[in-house]
Chain A
Amino acid sequence: MKTETITDADRYPTLTEDGRRMLEFMREHPHAPTFRNQSGNRLNVDDLSRVREFEREAQSAEVGWRPSELPSWLAKFVEQSFAEVPFYRRYGSPPAEFQDLPTICRADLSRDIAQFVPDSTPIDRLINFRTSGTTGHSLLLASHPAVAASYLAFHKRALRRFGIELRHGRGQVGVVLVGFQRKCFTYISVTPAMDESGLAKINLHPADWRDPDDRAKYLDALAAEVYTGDPIAFAELLKLPLATKPRAMLSTSMTLLPAMQQQLQERFGCPVLDLYSMNEAGPVAVADVTAGGHVLLQHRLYVQTLDASGQQVPIGERGEVTLTGGFNFCLPLLRYRTGDYASLRFNGTEPVLVGLEGRPPIRFRNTRGEWLNNIEVTHALQRFAIPQFTLHQDRDGGLLLRLSGAGHEPNHIRNALLELFGSGQRLILEQVDSFDGKVVQYTSDLAGSQP
């Protein structure tokens, strides 16, 4: 069998000498962590023009629609999706009324993502986004380097709302993605659309560093303009004696509680943005208290809030956030139920998601008294085909794993969790026929479980 060899020329097709120096600086710094993986922007010259053009479009486009109207691009998008996407083609003909379109959910994407890739999408440069998620269905999504690079356009839009214009460029580090997990995908790269500024994805867990004190030294050496991460990683960042401060922080993946946001803003003296973002659709919205909720970021994403039967709930009532459109041309979404809930209100033509409830962060305590990020539990279990599960930790530290689906190997699942929590961990596995719809996957009675 032929071994696939990936070189830096594949990872950074437009790399210049300055970019190469930036990679060396980040990789070979005396306080650098162990980078466990490799990644790259993978953008060729054509991709780069496409990304720049998209950013110009995203910058000038208006986001929104009138409450009783549909966005002007929507009808054509639906028609094209029916013509080109195998999954939607099976519906038959496009309905005359948008609200008669069937909805899809995470389980549909999880079953076979190939059915959602349009016929016209070239497959030779597909990349994947893997997500373990909180709803129990692990996902493998089709994407493209230009899609990954286009996240930046929406981050810029979100930051501009808070008065921040990104200005990093050649010879500087633009962004550091921080994680705090026992195992984490880490790498360095450069961003061609920002003149090859540096990008590092690091894990603050001490196991990734020669000396835990190196964490602050390395971050100070990078002096990144932006930190992105989840609230659990940011909580760890707060403990470090950093001399430098970013110009902005972007929080994703989990609900950012206001007290945590406040603490971060005070410590770092910069805006801390709470982004509503998901692998399936990229950055969807950013929280803005002056608007009363999360304001939308994408100009070709139609957001509805639906009841259980797929009907739009009245303005102001809570419903499931449901998406149509998006910028991932490998995954056109038609009425995708996200599993998140909010009410939709309008400030003029600007839609606002109010009271968005996404994925609350939960920490679990292992037998050594260490806190574990809930993502680590998902990672530990992702190799098992469990349709849905919940994990609860009681006030004495005991764990209850409830899982649906058949044909599991309980001992393997138990071992995976014991490896994470310690061999002396009390653990009960309970098989259930099914859960009633979306579940709160991770819960805990332990004080301190919510960072």
Chain B
Amino acid sequence: MQQEGPILESLTRRLAETPEEFLAEPRIGQTGRVHVAAVVADLLRLLNAPPASAPGQFIGNDVRRDRNRLAIALLLCWLLSDDWFRQTKLDAAKVLELLDAQCNELATQVAARKFVTDPDRREELARLALARLGFRPAGETLAQAQDRLTTLNSTERARVMKAARAAEERARQIREALARKAAEESADKFTRE
């Protein structure tokens, strides 16, 4: 985050205006349309940072496991194809690291569309992308940029963890409720299956 980057709003606006092609379903097996690995390769060429090998980690195998991760990667490809990034000499390894590790982490916490529709999540994604590539928003000090990213990140992580705890507690209660004698006695049906 040592270097000053673009104006933050230019990036959040770009995310809000993500075109349909970058919101389309990632191709995984026989489903979806967009081959994310090909889009990543195009992005790297656009950034003059061609990959040493095909980015195989962006070819999904399991729709349920991979679709959100690849959908977020697709959004980042759109974000990083902004003119500012194109005119900046970026490190291919760092770009790949951002697209890979960061998407993996975010995919367990947030549904991809929220990075388009929710202002806080747009800001979080834009700031994360800048930070992982070594930049901070224009007009902000290092301390300001770090503080804001931490706030967004930790607030969201706290929300996600709280929701996960609540979900686990509810699942436990459901399992208990179903094991009760009253649930076991069931209720009348006219047929059995």
Contact = CB atoms under 8 A, between A and B. Distances in A.
Nearest to B115: A93
Nearest to B108: A90
A102 B191 CA distance: 31
B163 to A, nearest CB: 9
Residue among B23, B173, B182 having the largest count of chain A Cβ atoms under 10 Å:
B182
Nearest to A308: B30
A99 B23 CA distance: 16
Contact of A93 (B112, B174, B186): B112
Nearest to A147: B187
Interface stretch (B50-58, B63-71, B127-135, B145-153): B63-71
Contacts, number: 153
B187 A102 contact: no
B193 A279 contact: yes
Query: For this complex, into which size category does the number of interface residues on chain B fall?
Result: 35 or more
A311 to B, nearest CB: 6
Contact of A112 (B170, B171, B180): B171
A92 B68 contact: yes
Given A37-B185, A92-B71, A226 B190 contact: yes
A199 B25 contact: no
Contact of A4 (B172, B180, B191): B180
A129 B186 contact: yes
Residue among B25, B67, B193 having the largest count of chain A Cβ atoms under 10 Å:
B193
Contacts of B113: 92-93
Interface in B67-102: 67-68, 71
Contacts of B191: 151, 155, 177, 228, 250, 252, 275, 277, 283
A279 B192 CA distance: 8
21 contacts: A6-B181, A86-B167, A95-B32, A95-B67, A96-B25, A100-B63, A102-B67, A112-B171, A114-B171, A117-B174, A123-B177, A129-B186, A142-B178, A148-B189, A151-B189, A151-B190, A155-B190, A177-B190, A229-B192, A253-B193, A310-B30
Interface of A: 4, 6, 10-11, 37-43, 82, 86, 89-93, 95-97, 99-100, 102, 112-115, 117, 119, 123-124, 126-131, 140, 142-145, 148-149, 151-152, 155, 175, 177, 179, 189, 191, 199, 201, 226, 228-230, 250, 252-253, 275, 277-279, 283, 309-311
Interface of B: 23-25, 29-32, 63-64, 67-68, 71, 107, 111-114, 167, 170-175, 177-178, 180-193
